[in-house]
Amino acid sequence: MLVLSGVGPRIEPPEGLRLEGLLGRGAHGTVFAARCPRRGPLALKLGRPGDPLAPFLAEARCMGAVSHPRVPRVVDVSRTGRGTPYLMMQRAPGRSLRPLLPRLSRRRATALVDDLLGVLTEVHASGIVHCDVKASNLRVAEGEVWLLDFGIARRGARRWTRQERARGTPAYMAPEQLEGRRVDARTDLYAVGVLLYRAWFGVLPFPREGFGLLRRKRRALYVPPSIRDPRFEPADDLFRRLLAGSARARLASARKARAALATIRRRLPRTILACAPDGEPSATRRTRHTLETHPA
Ligand SMILES: Nc1ncnc2c1ncn2[C@@H]1O[C@H](COP(=O)(O)OP(=O)(O)OP(=O)(O)O)[C@@H](O)[C@H]1O
Ligand SMILES: [Mg+2]
C-alpha cells in the first residue's frame, strides 16, 4: 500500500503497479501517474471503495473501440483487492491544454484543433461519440493532441440515463446533448466550435452565466467573429456551421470541418493568427519553450 501526500486516504494500487503522482482529479475518479515494469508509463483512474464498476467498464469499452495512436490504450479495468474500481490505461505524455490555451497564438491553437479533428475522425469512424471535448480533456505533446476522458462517451444511439445527463460540461454541450436526445459526430463538432471560439477570442461563445443557456444555444445567440473584429469575417460561416443549434445545420463530419478550417486559415490575415487572444504575439514562442522544458 502506498500513501501519496495530499491525496487524502491511503491508496491501494493494483498489484505490480507503482504510483508516481497525481495527474488529475475528476468528478468520477482520481487519476494517478503509475508505472509498471512491463508496460511503462500508465495512468490509473481510481474510483472510491464500493463505487460501481459499470461506468469504468463503459469508459473502457468506448476507449478500447478506438484505435488511434493518441487515444490511450486500455490496459485493464477491474477492482482492487479492497473493491475500488479502476481503469488502467496508457499514460498520455505532454501537458493539459487547459492552462496553455489562453497563451497560445491563434495559429498554434488552430493547428491543435485541426489535429483534434483528425483524432475525432477516427473516433467517429469507430462508432463512438466522445461527448466531453474540452481543453481539460486534451493533452498536448510535441504539437499533437491526445484525447482523454471517455467517461460519458456513447456507442450507438443508447439513451441517456439521468446520471449521465448530469455529467458533461454545459458550456461545451450541444443542445441535443443538453436535452438528453440522440447525439452523433455533429455533437462533438459543436464542442470543437466552442473550443476554437474560446481559443481565438479568449471567451466562451455561450457563457454559463445569464439567462437560458439552452435557449441561447438553440438560437445560436453568440457574438459572431466579425462583430468581435471585422478582420474575422471569413470565419463567420465556419462558426455558423459548428455552433448551429440544430445538428442538421452543422458540418456533417470532422473531415469536412477540417477542410473548412483549412480554407479559413488561409483567408485570415497573418497578423491576427500570430496573436494570442490577449493580443500578445510572443506567446507562441514562450509556450513552445514551456512545452519542451516541462514534459509532464
Ligand atoms: N491517460 C491519461 N494520461 C495522462 N493524463 C490523464 C489520463 N487520463 C486522465 N488524465 C488526467 O487526469 C484528469 C482527470 O481525468 P478524467 O478527465 O478522465 O477524469 P473525470 O473524472 O472523467 O473528469 P471530469 O468528469 O471532471 O472531466 C484529466 O484532465 C487529465 O489531465
Ligand atoms: Mg475530464
pLDDT mean by block of 10 residues, the chain; 296 residues: 41 74 86 89 93 94 96 94 92 96 96 98 97 97 97 83 80 94 96 98 88 93 96 97 98 98 94 85 44 33
Final residue in a domain of this structure, among 65, 90, 115: 90
Pick from 87, 74, 106, 107: which is nearest to 45 by CA? Answer: 87
One domain for residues 79 and 216: no
Cβ atoms 94, 72 nearer than 8 A? no
Ligand 1 pocket by Cβ (under 6 Å): 23-24, 26-29, 31, 43, 45, 72, 89, 91-92, 96, 136-137, 148-149, 151
Domain with 167 in it: 95-293
Which ligand 1 atom minimizes the distance to the CA of 91? 3
Q: For the chain, how long is the longest CA-to-CA vector?
A: 60
Task: Give domain status of residue 3, yes or no.
Answer: no
The structure's pTM equals 0.90
What pLDDT shows up at residue 29?
A: 84
Collapsing DSSP to helix, strand or coil, 276 comes out as: coil
Do residues 111 and 139 both lie within one domain? yes
35 and 114 share a domain?
no
For residue 161, what pLDDT is reported?
76
Do residue 79 and residue 118 come from a single domain? no
Compute, in angstroms, the gap from residue 284 CA to the centroid of ligand 2: 25
How many domains are there within the chain? Answer: 2
- Asked, for residue 205, whether it belongs to a domain, the answer is yes
Q: Is 269 left (phi over 0), alpha (psi -120 to 50) or beta?
A: beta
Domain boundary among 72, 90, 108: 90
191 lies in the same domain as 65: no
Residue 179: which of 245, 126, 263 has the closest Cα?
245
Q: Are residues 285 and 161 in the same domain?
A: yes
Q: What is the pLDDT of residue 71?
A: 98
Place of cell 466552442: 194
User: Does residue 118 belong to any structural domain of this protein?
Assistant: yes
Site to substitute for ligand 1 among 19, 100, 148, 165, most atoms within 8 A of C-beta: 148
Same domain, 154 and 234: yes
C-alpha triplet 21, 25, 30: angle, nearest 5°: 70
Whether 108 and 129 map to the same domain: the answer is yes
DSSP codes, 119-186? HHHHHHHTTEE----SGGGEEEETTEEEE---TT-EETTPPPPHHHHHSS-GGG--HHHHTT----HH
Note if 184 is an active site residue: no
Q: Is residue 7 part of a domain?
A: no
Specify whether 79 is located in the same domain as 116.
Answer: no
Q: Is 10 domain-assigned?
A: no
Residues 23 and 126 in one domain: no
Domain of 145: which CATH number? Answer: 1.10.510.10
* Residues 86 and 116 grouped into a single domain: no
